[in-house]
Structure 1
Amino acid sequence: MEQPESARPMGIQLPVGTDAVSVRRRIEAMEKLLENSFTLPGVNYRIGLDSVAGLVPVVGDLITAAMGMWLVWEAKNLGLPRWKLWRMTGNVAFDTAVGAIPVVGDAFDFLFRSNTRNLKVIKRHLDKHYPATQTIG
């Protein structure tokens, strides 16, 4: 059943299934939102909600940490081993802790992309255990 236009945020329809293909599409969309949503004019550098929200002290970092932990939750549901889940959690925790430092943390958020790192961990798992989910590009 097609969702009405008002139910699709930003015109994007994300799959709600628990199959590996649906999960892959959702985590790729979340990573893009958090790490590559916008281009800084003049320097042509991609940033995302993680960097922008990190400019708001404490609250912004906590919100993006919760969004980053959603990727870990999706990875858990895919059956990733515990050590990979801990590694992913460590990436989010490190990004949140350093990102919370005024000024230095904001600069750090532009460089350290924990969600991109976590997406790579998940993609490697999916490519190995669910090869049909692989996409070209």
Structure 2
Amino acid sequence: MATTKPTRVEAERIAPEATSEELFLDRLAWFMDANFRIPGTKIRFGADQLAGLIPGVGDLAGGAVQAALILMAIYYYKLPKRIIVRMVLNSVLDTTVGAVPIVGDLFDVAFKVNMRNVRLLRDAAAKKRGATEST
């Protein structure tokens, strides 16, 4: 008896092992760092870079999101100190260079601190989950 190919395509999940909190953080990082695209290019930017165009206010708003992400990594995920230090250093670098007019805005578009920090958080959380499940 011949088997037929399914006529319906099943939706593929991006990360089936991800928790709802991690998916929220992915969406937040995407919104902050890569939600918009410059037409005709592959250059993406987000709300963080748009807000950064407003002196003072933009950096403060972006810093608040970064601080919330770091606090979540500390208190909710209880990640190792070395991961927290890397996240803090990413945020400090982004804030320091981001404070320089024009150069800082271009750096923000390239560096994408929120996406970097969420990637660090997810990788560390996945390793922690794996270590907990195997013991």
TM-score, normalization: structure 2?
0.76
- Counterpart CA distance in 2 for 1:114 and 1:40 is 19
What SS does the aligned partner of 2:100 have?
Answer: coil
CA apart distance, 1:44: 3.3
Percent identity, please.
36
Task: Note the residue ranges of structure 1 that are not aligned, 5 or more in a row.
Answer: 1-19, 132-137
- Counterpart CA distance in 2 for 1:43 and 1:103 is 19
* Aligned residue pairs, count: 112
2:73 pairs with 1:46: no
The RMSD of aligned alpha carbons is: 1.5
Task: Note the residue ranges of structure 2 that are not aligned, 5 or more in a row.
Answer: 1-17, 131-135
Q: Which has the larger radius of gyration?
A: 2
- Counterpart CA distance in 1 for 2:127 and 2:21 is 15
What SS does the aligned partner of 2:53 have?
Answer: coil
1:75-118 Cα distance to aligned partner (Å, 9 max, x none): 11201012211210111111011111111111111111111111
CA apart distance, 1:72: 0.9
CA apart distance, 1:36: 1.3
- Counterpart CA distance in 1 for 2:83 and 2:120 is 7
What SS does the aligned partner of 1:55 have?
Answer: coil
Q: Confirm or deny: 8 A CA contact 1:62 1:96 kept in the other structure.
A: no
Q: Confirm or deny: 8 A CA contact 1:34 1:48 kept in the other structure.
A: yes
TM-score, normalization: structure 1?
0.75
Q: Confirm or deny: 8 A CA contact 1:99 1:108 kept in the other structure.
A: yes
Matching residue of 1:107: 106
Q: Confirm or deny: 8 A CA contact 1:54 1:60 kept in the other structure.
A: yes
Farther-moved stretch of structure 1 (52-61 vs 37-46) = 37-46
